[in-house]
Structure 1
Amino acid sequence: MITQNSSAPLIAVVGATGIQGGSVIKTLTASSKPYRVRGFTRDATKPVSQDLIAKGVEMVTVSLVVDNVKEVFKAFEGANMAFLVTNFLEHMDAERETAEAKMMIDAAKVGGVERIVWSGLPHCTKLSAGKITHVGHYDSKAAASGYGRQSGIPFVDVQAGFYASNFFNPWIAPVKRADGTYAIPLPLSPTVPLPVIDMARDYGLYVLRALEAPVFPDGSEVHTGLDITMEEVAIQLSQVTGKRIIIEQITLDQYGKKMADSGAPVHVVVDMLDAWKWFEEFGYYGGEATSSVEGLAKHPLSFREFAKAEDWSKVFM
């Protein structure tokens, strides 16, 4: 629960109005334990910020960029715990992402934070022995993870699984064919599993489990999501929507053209093509198992449950 009682621990939540930070705050709100919550935003006047303020969240207006380092350090002062996340898609710059993450870790340390939960990802270049080298949004987060583990602050890396909402993204969403059926075009074998997660509803469950563990699991990695093949995704989505949907395995070149035609920058296309290679050859978490759901406050939604909860009218028109 969110409280103003000064005896409750204060947790600083980066990305409070975004998907991951918002999920963390939602889960903290539902916890039986009291928390003071400080949310970071660049605009405290927007409706989602105002809604959080009404729920008792202290909203701090701050731009988490290196040029604003003094204000960033100030924003973390007095916090007991912190949830940190970066937004690669905002600028699509891997070096900037790592630099901003390191700055936040430094700020948390100086501000007195005793526990950090960070949203990282595996290091594709290292784990593939140099075979997969262009997944910048993975490697940049992994570099920050290494920095965090060496910071001296107890540090847990709760890695984001494959967003279930990706199936609304035009790069992945089902495409209607001439015969009235739909195909999900992916450069991935239909039998390869991905750890799919409803990020907005369920990511915070894994963060809360780490924060409320009897012993904070310092140094651990948490791999969120529930494994499901794309073949099964198509079957379940067909059953939920009543549409006939298949997975259409396309080439990397075809997928790259689809991205480029949609206006994606060249370096982002290169990044994502290597990401699909990574999924196919090494698995989403580089061969590491998806984490158990034991001990979570509730069971995460399955893909079928996610599909039932969503409005697909703009996809299946």
Structure 2
Amino acid sequence: MSKFIAIVGATGLQGGSALKVLYAAGGYKLRALSRNPESDSAKSLAAEYPNVEWVQADLNDTSSLRKALTNVDAVFVVTDFFQKDTLEKVAAGDKDAEFAQGKNVVDAAIDAGVNSVIYSSLDSMKQLSDGKYAGVLHFEGKHKVEEYISSKADKIKGYFIHLGSYMENYVRFSRISPEDSQTVEFTMPLKPTTKLPLVDTINDTGHVVKYILEHPEECLGKVIEVSGGYYEAQEMAKAFTKATGKPARYVQIPYEAAGMDELSQMFKAIDEFGIFGGRSDFLEYNKEMDCAFVTPEEFWKNRNWDGPSK
């Protein structure tokens, strides 16, 4: 496939993974798009990955995107519902704020003559739940972008990845037990026995992006789920103890503790319908990729654990 690849969200987990893997692979000319290429995170990555071109682009500004995608063959795109400005638009009543950003990238890519777009999408929880959970907006927005890309198949080739639940969330939602000050507790509004397709985002995502770039005909129009397997929440706690020797347990907290209605709905929907709708055929497909997805125990061994996230 194409060799000049642009990466939207290169300073984030998914885009950073694509940057890391494609840079290591060699043979690709890489352009990283950032709202602020002068940020500390962008400068740090620019130093780590010499010869990567950094370009300013704002997902709310199609003209900047059009310029940033000039001469590019393919673009990897991830949109972020939880950015401050997007959340502010949603709070003001604009439920399509994330979709608008994804559409802007797609339209700009088409205008710039980009051949292919790889988009990090998600299922519609509204569809998976038959309308019961219609308010999980960061799922709905991404799914709507996916549908929009598919509708432009005559103008740009669309490829889609669906990431499982981030293993990184267990770092974010961790604390030292108030009961014994020794045990690490992982706290989320999920049943301890709910099986989730987990992904080590920063290590796994880029390998799937690379696979798509190397197998364009095979992957065209397909959704490729990114995860090494299904695990219960309490299994992540057990893997932590095995990897670090530190006592740990999973603690389910109320759905309402998620803070936002959209997140409360998400956790309820995942408990009831799962991520990927419970599909497991992707596990066989993933074996064909020349990468080993990170296991929970490997994830904790690689973390150099120094305490709960602040």
TM range (shorter): 0.7 to 0.9
Give the equivalent residue in structure 2 for 1:78: 71
Paired residue secondary structure (1:88): coil
Following superposition, the deviation at residue 129 of structure 1 comes to: 1.0
Following superposition, the deviation at residue 189 of structure 1 comes to: 2.3
Compare 91-100 and 273-282 and name the one that shifted more: 91-100
CA separation of 1:124 and 1:47: change in aligned 2, threshold 3 A: same
Give the equivalent residue in structure 2 for 1:89: 82
Does the CA-based 8 Å contact 2:2-2:74 persist in structure 1?
no
Give the equivalent residue in structure 2 for 1:237: 240
Q: List per-residue Cα deviations over 1:70-98 (Å, max 9, x = no partner).
A: 22222212111111111111133341110
Q: List per-residue Cα deviations over 1:166-222 (Å, max 9, x = no partner).
A: 1121xx214413134343233322222111111112211111111111625121111
- Cα distance between partner residues in 1 of 2:187 and 2:46: 38
In the alignment of these two chains, the number of paired residues is 294
Q: Which runs of 5+ in 1 are unaligned?
A: 1-6, 261-268
Q: 1:283 aligns with which of 256, 274, 277?
A: 274
- Cα distance between partner residues in 2 of 1:173 and 1:138: 24
Percent of pairs with identical residues = 28
CA separation of 1:104 and 1:214: change in aligned 2, threshold 3 A: closer
Following superposition, the deviation at residue 315 of structure 1 comes to: 1.8
Give the equivalent residue in structure 2 for 1:301: 294
Give the equivalent residue in structure 1 for 2:166: 163
- Cα distance between partner residues in 1 of 2:216 and 2:131: 38
Which residue identity lines up with residue 287 of structure 1 in the other structure? G
Compare 242-251 and 280-289 and name the one that shifted more: 242-251
Give the equivalent residue in structure 2 for 1:177: 178
- Cα distance between partner residues in 2 of 1:12 and 1:313: 34
Does the CA-based 8 Å contact 1:123-1:139 persist in structure 2?
yes
Do residues 105 (structure 1) and 106 (structure 2) align? yes
Following superposition, the deviation at residue 103 of structure 1 comes to: 1.0
Give the equivalent residue in structure 2 for 1:116: 117
Which residue identity lines up with residue 220 of structure 2 in the other structure? D
Does the CA-based 8 Å contact 1:167-1:174 persist in structure 2?
no
Q: 1:11 aligns with which of 5, 23, 34?
A: 5
- Cα distance between partner residues in 1 of 2:286 and 2:114: 27
Which residue identity lines up with residue 264 of structure 2 in the other structure? L
Paired residue secondary structure (2:291): coil
Does the CA-based 8 Å contact 2:191-2:252 persist in structure 1?
yes
CA separation of 1:297 and 1:47: change in aligned 2, threshold 3 A: farther
Note the aligned Cα RMSD (angstroms). 2.2
- Cα distance between partner residues in 1 of 2:23 and 2:42: 15
CA separation of 1:214 and 1:64: change in aligned 2, threshold 3 A: closer
Give the equivalent residue in structure 2 for 1:57: 52
- Cα distance between partner residues in 2 of 1:245 and 1:316: 15
Give the equivalent residue in structure 1 for 2:131: 130
- Cα distance between partner residues in 2 of 1:161 and 1:314: 24
Runs of 4+, deviation exceeding 6 Å: none
- Cα distance between partner residues in 1 of 2:253 and 2:39: 41
Does the CA-based 8 Å contact 1:13-1:84 persist in structure 2?
yes
Q: List per-residue Cα deviations over 1:209-258 (Å, max 9, x = no partner).
A: 11111625121111111221112111111222222222223332xxx23x
Give the equivalent residue in structure 2 for 1:44: 37
Following superposition, the deviation at residue 134 of structure 1 comes to: 1.4
Q: What TM-score comes out, normalization by structure 2 length?
A: 0.88
Which residue identity lines up with residue 289 of structure 2 in the other structure? L
Does the CA-based 8 Å contact 1:163-1:197 persist in structure 2?
yes
Does the CA-based 8 Å contact 2:80-2:98 persist in structure 1?
yes
Which residue identity lines up with residue 54 of structure 2 in the other structure? M
Which residue identity lines up with residue 249 of structure 1 in the other structure? Q
